[in-house]
Amino acid sequence: MSSFLHQLPKVELHLHIEGTLEPELMFELARRNEVTLPFDSVEAVRAAYDFEDLQSFLDLYYQGMNVLFTEADFYDLTWAYLTRCQANNVVHTELFFDPQAHLSRGVALSTQLEGITRACQDAEREMGISSAIILSFLRDMTEEHALETYEAALAYREHFIGIGLDSAEVGNPPEKFARVFDRAREDGFHLVAHAGEEGPASYIRSALDTLGVERIDHGIRCLDDEALVETLIARRIPLTVCPLSNVYLKTVPDMTGHPLPAMIERGLCVTINSDDPAYFGGYMNANYEAVQNAFAFSRDTWVLLTRNAIEAAFVTPARREALYAQLEKATGNP
């Protein structure tokens, strides 16, 4: 089964590029940019990855990205992730970046976006991996700051396809960002939001109703609200679930206690993703393996999860057909 999972062509829809910063690259960039890290070795960084909850992770995640300054840094970070994609047989990926977390350190939007985009273009040309970038707002900052950032980002609109919402969820409900999502909808961008990761099912409802999102990132708390589950099924809203992330951030007791099988059983459009793989024990294959060890899914279930991700991807009809064809070739399943 392991080789079946490894060779399955994969589509990743929930990935924070800053969450792919491995400690080795963190040290290299710290040296390059003369930044002093509060750790004296790669092992010490990894030893600190023992999280109590989302906030304890976010504290380290924001600290880690303090080594990113130049376009080359963003290129190297993104290129390292895309080579992991190739090793994991990820053939299409949609990646988040957190512009406000870099703007606040004096790093220009052009630096961030040009570095990430150039790596994506090289990966498409050299490895055949398609990708897209989603600009994510920090929900623990104000809506005014998100709006200002959005306005500034419009100068680079050809670099990103959508907007999202991440960071500390509880106490920062989706409706706080209604105006910026309205603006982005008018401008033709795709809309997604993290909801129901640590926050309640009502945040998922609000992301749908007040932000009009097309996909929900995480969404694992949806099963607490039967009417919401029915809406998600009826509207076929994709949920970008991140199994290892949920275990590492203790939003589930352990992998065997994850609601993933119940979500699939209900017919929700579930996909599997790695979120912040440098911090949560691994990339796509590691997530697939951990889920398989806990639940021993059939091949048909894995094909279904992959088909869901292809359906949920923000790609052209031609690219979607090519992804379905690649899956069929690899599995014999239409």
Ligand X SMILES: Nc1ncnc2[nH]cnc12
Q: Which residues here bind ligand X, judged by CB under 6 A?
A: 16, 19, 54, 61, 166-167, 194, 197, 245, 275-276
Which string of DSSP letters, residue by residue, matches 232-301?
HHHTT-EEEE-HHHHHHTTSSSSGGG-SHHHHHHTT-EEEE--BSTTTTT-SHHHHHHHHHHHH---HHH
Q: Is 190 annotated to bind ligand?
A: no
Residue 94: contacted member of Zn ion, ligand X, none (CB under 5 to 8 Å, by partner type): none
């090793």: which residue's tokens? Answer: 87
Which of 169, 197, 230, 321 is flagged as catalytic? 197
One residue of 12, 71, 76, 275 binding Zn ion per CB under 5 A: 275
CA distance 237 to 12: 16
Nearer to Zn ion by Cβ, of 23 and 164: the residue is: 164
Query: Using an 8 Å Cβ cutoff, are 15 and 273 in contact?
Result: yes
Q: What share of the chain is helix, strand, coil (3-state, %, to 5)?
A: 55, 15, 30
Q: Is 159 annotated to bind ligand?
A: no
| Rounded least distance, CB 318 to ligand X, Å | 31
| Rounded least distance, CB 190 to ligand X, Å | 18
What is the distance in angstroms between the CA of the first residue and the CA of the last residue of the chain?
A: 19
Nearer to Zn ion by Cβ, of 76 and 275: the residue is: 275
| Rounded least distance, CB 188 to ligand X, Å | 25
Residues whose CB falls within 8 Å of the CB of residue 197, separated by 6 or more in sequence, listed in order: 54, 169, 217, 218, 219, 220, 221, 246, 249, 251
| Rounded least distance, CB 299 to ligand X, Å | 29
Stretch that binds Zn ion, among 74-82, 120-128, 168-176, 275-283 (CB under 5 A): 275-283
- Reply yes or no on whether 197 is catalytic: yes
Residue 76: contacted member of Zn ion, ligand X, none (CB under 5 to 8 Å, by partner type): none
Interface contacts to Zn ion, rule CB under 5 A: 275
Catalytic center residues: 197
Binding-site residues for Zn(2+), please? Answer: 14, 16, 194, 275
